[in-house]
Chain A
Amino acid sequence: MNRREGEGGSRRNADAAQDREASAQSSSPVIAAFKVFQQELDTKHDKHERLVKISRDVTIESKRTIFLLHRVTSVPNAEDILNEAELKLDAVRQKIGQIAEELRGEDIFQFHRAFTGGIQEYVEAASFLHYIRHRSLISLEEINARLVFMKSEKEDSEGPADTLQPGGQVLTFQVSPSDYLLGVADLTGELMRMCISSVGNGDIDTPFQLSQFLRQIHDGFSYIGNTGPYEVSKKLHVLRQSLGKVEDACYALRVRGSEIPKHMLADVFSSRTTHMEPEEGVV
């Protein structure tokens, strides 16, 4: 019974659809125009979806790299971890290469919303790694310089082709200044965590270095103020909180560092960090 009804319903629907189709075909010009629009919109939406997907992958892998980098403070041979992080970031760059591939010949800003999250996360991870290695801020140019891709896979079948014209196969991805800024703003949250955990490990020097670096970044953001995009001013607030925590930690180290024996520092600060945990909203 049920099934028969279902069949009837579907047949009726099919009939209606056919009718519509028939009437649609008779009145051609408008319908023909809309068929073109349909194709155009579908292509655009598909591209958008693909970009969102790649961007999510970029975000996830970048986050994992950041977690990996946080282990640096507690491990004797940091170099191994840094190399591993470098490998992971190479994989992320490959993904960004896919984004660049999708955007070839397109207006970047048309699809900017689809991949901005992933790019910001990548900037965060790359700048974090750079800071741990060189104790300085990676510049926008350095980031962009690493996002140059040689398009070789497609040319594999005809090997000599890409040796003939290597210039034509280069793809670049440009991180926009505002994405860079937002990524750096997120970096400060990671630096704050790194500061607290390095104190926990009895490292006295790192917190002071970090507080100086964070202050420089904070000054930079204050300099930009509200000329930047709207999101920057939102992140500035979180940045202030992070800076406050790091400065407090340095203060505590300076005041009590001489009194507390080094092996007990960990206890002092682990209790501090636990009561700080709930208020940090940074990811």
Chain B
Amino acid sequence: MSVTEMFSHIQGFLSADQDIREDIRKVVQMLEQTAREILTVLQSVHQPSGFKEIPSKCARARELFCTVRTTIADLKTKFPMEQYYRFHEHWRFVLQRLVFLATFVVYLETEALVIREEVAKILGIEVVREKGFHLDVEDYLAGVLIMASELSRLAVNSVTSGDYTRPLRISNFINELDSGFRLLNLKNDPLRKRYDGLKYDVKKIEEVVYDLSIRGLTKEAETSGGDK
């Protein structure tokens, strides 16, 4: 094989690779669009009026997740499944956002941490690599960390709109998450960097809880909660 032949052979590989990337990019753009729509729907929970509408907002978000599932099904057809990690970078960011949105919806509905299997089901993907397009554990954890900072914001805003019990529940939840993350031996990678931000979220929520408790607002909430 001559040098020229060899190089045109390789060129064939490279342009096929580029075509795949082009296709993936288009689908990922659609995913990003839907993710932004879901985020807009969910952002309204920070509004004072939004707290009563949480169930309806979540229902709306769940509808939008149907679009996500079809788009991801489309994405799956764009490349050979055993080369997931070759193109991982293209959808890594949006997948983390979607995990965040899914965990946030489930938190608003049930106030519990959604397990990875459940997130995968919401997004219409697998958990185990062997079965196809899957949710990488690091992406799942990154999404959970994004949710933690969203919750610290929610704690502040719920006080503003007069809901004094929510911060306490968020505080318990975040503390549990924090001790969960403490179990992990993270390397010096993007996930670790994100995890380092978790302590600020924890701190912020603790401050909110402190402010509420020195003013006796938590007790009031407890008694009123007991009345119910």
Q: A34-B180, A37-B184, A45-B185 are in contact. Are A221 and B14 (CB under 8 A)?
A: no
User: In the complex, what residue of chain A is closest to B15 when comparing beta carbons?
Assistant: A227
Task: From A3-11, A72-80, A148-156, A211-219, give the one contacting chain B.
Answer: A211-219
Q: Does B199 contact A (CB under 8 A)?
A: no
Within 8 A of B (CB), among A164-201: 177-178, 180-181
Complex: A41 Cα to B129 Cα, angstroms: 14
Q: Are B176 and A30 within 8 A (Cβ)?
A: yes
Which among B11, B116, B180, B187 is the interface contact of A45 at CB below 8 angstroms? Answer: B187
**Closest residue on chain B to residue A181 by CB atoms:** B10
- With the chains together, A267 CA to B105 CA distance in Å? 78
Contact flags B1-24 to A (C-beta < 8 A → 1, else 0): 111101111110111001000000
A223 pairs with B115, CB closer than 8 A: no
Do B180 and A139 have beta carbons less than 8 Å apart? no
Instruction: Identify which of B44-52, B62-70, B78-86, B219-227 touches chain A.
Output: B78-86
Q: Interface digits, B110-147 against A, CB 8 Å rule (1 contact, 0 not)?
A: 00110110000000000001000000011001000000
Contact with B along A15-31 (1 / 0, CB 8 A): 00000100110010111
With contacts A38-B183, A227-B18 taken as known, whether A219 is within 8 angstroms of B113 at the C-beta atoms is no
Closest residue to A219 on the B side, CB-wise? B4
Given contacts A24-B179, A177-B14, A40 and B137 within 8 Å (CB-CB):
yes
Main secondary structure of the interface of A (DSSP, over half): helix
> Which of A86-94, A104-112, A243-251 forms contacts with chain B?
A104-112
**Taking CB as reference atom, which chain B residue is nearest A232?**
B14
- Choose one: B1, B7, B179, B181; the contact of A23 (CB below 8 Å): B179
B49 → chain A, closest Cβ, in Å? 31
8 Å CB contact of B83 from A35, A109, A224: A109
A281 part of interface (Cβ distance < 8 Å): no
Q: Are B3 and A20 in contact (CB under 8 A)?
A: no
**Number of A positions contacting B (CB below 8 A):** 39
* B184 to A, closest residue via Cβ: A38
Contacts of A220 in B (CB 8 A): 3-4, 6-7
Q: How far is the CA of A31 from the CA of B8 in the complex (A)?
A: 54
Q: How many whole Å from A228's CB to the nearest CB in chain B?
A: 5
- Whether A213 pairs with B179 at a CB distance below 8 angstroms is no
Measured between beta carbons, the chain B residues less than 8 angstroms from A109 are 83-86, 88
Known: A20-B179, A109-B85, A220-B3. A34 touches B184 (CB 8 A): yes
Residues in B with CB closer than 8 Å to A177 are: 10, 13-14
Sort A-B residue pairs by CB-CB distance and give the 8 closest, nearest first.
Answer: A220-B7, A34-B180, A109-B85, A110-B85, A216-B3, A109-B86, A177-B13, A107-B85
Interface of A with B (CB < 8 Å)? 20, 23-24, 27, 29-31, 33-35, 37-38, 40-42, 45, 107-110, 112, 136-137, 139-140, 177-178, 180-181, 213, 216-217, 219-221, 223-224, 227-228
The contact sample of 20 A-B pairs, CB cut-off 8 A, is: A27-B176, A29-B112, A30-B177, A31-B180, A34-B184, A37-B137, A38-B185, A41-B137, A41-B138, A41-B186, A42-B185, A45-B185, A137-B1, A137-B2, A139-B9, A217-B3, A220-B3, A223-B7, A224-B10, A227-B15
